[in-house]
Amino acid sequence: MRAYSDGLVNAAAGALDSGWRATWAAIDMSGGIGRRGFVQASAAALATMLHGDELFAAEGVGRRQTDGEPLIQSLRLRTLGSLGELKDFYSNKLGLRVLAETPTELTMAGGATPITFVRTESATERPFYHFAFNIPENKIRAARAWQLKRSALITTPPPLRDAAYPDDVRHFSNWNAHSVFFWDPAGNLVEYIARHDLGNGADGEFTSRDILYASEIGLIIADEERAALARRLGSELGLGGYKPEAGGFFWALGDGRGLVLLLPRGLRGNVDPNRRVEFGVFPTEATLRGGGSSKHAIAGYPYSINVERRA
């Protein structure tokens, strides 16, 4: 396993902390949202932006860009919503295959990634998650048009707009990516993201076959724990840091083919101009492809990360 230098991470954490606090101040005034933390990047935060190579490359942490295989092998998530409505949305509207179905569970093929929704009867919380699907890097316009026939898309905050694209396409310049966001019937925030660095363009019109695999899963973590947790998970899972933005307001571990996002706990924001959300902690199980077989629990959180050896 690769290890992070304590000194490197602690120094980076201080710089990142000042940047995201400046961004947080900007949220209070603007109500805007940015990438993964869904917050607008203020000028002060941008001044402290750290690039992935600066934060992690000194320790020799590798990227999986030449791997060619998705990192996230499966997801298991809770839902208070109707499994029938989820099935109708993902199968009938988006054209994804149903892999398994019981009265309490529904497993869909999110491209190459099975995603299981487990029905909960909780009377005190409504679980919801953010996850993303990679699509061919040249098909964001086609994906937008295709999804608009099936659901509404979320309008992009002005700082993340690209004048060459419609206002519901987000431009993440630091990631060299464009994406669109929408809600599923259970309140999950779903994304199609075209990562231009992957060079995985494809011919033809956009279809459900272009929903390639799940490439992001967000985990909500208390701010004071994120630096240590990023170091620990990076070491245990063999994942490098991926291009921190806006003062590192969120931390992403992995690469363009799969990211575990460590998002601030209690974050509020207008992800959608018509919907106010608060990101909470909900049971999440992710299986990742790795060099060994192991299970990782995160103390104090209902998260489980399983690693399966590559065949």
The three-state DSSP-derived secondary structure of 110-147 is ECCEEEEEEECCCCCCCCCCEEEEEECCCCHHHHHHHH
How would residue 278 be classed by pLDDT, with cut points 50, 70 and 90?
confident
Question: What is the average per-residue pLDDT within 129-158?
Answer: 96
pLDDT exceeds 70 at position 40: no
**Average pLDDT value for residue range 77-103:** 97
Work out whether the CA dihedral 143, 146, 149, 150 comes out positive or negative: negative
Q: What is the pTM of this model?
A: 0.78
H-only helix segments in 128-217 = 140-148
The pLDDT value recorded for residue 266 is 62
Q: Has residue 232 got a pLDDT over 70? A: yes
- Domain coordinates of the chain in residue numbers? 6-309
Architecture of domain 6-309: Roll (3.10)
Average of pLDDT values for 170-184?
94
Answer whether residue 307 shows pLDDT above 70.
Answer: yes
249 or 33, greater pLDDT: 249
> Looking at residues 205-214, what average pLDDT do you find?
98
The answer, yes or no, to whether residue 85 has pLDDT greater than 70, is yes
Distance CA(130)–CA(218), nearest Å, equals: 6
Closest CA to 130 of 216, 211, 72, 208: 216
pLDDT of residue 1: 37
Averaged pLDDT, 290-296 = 85
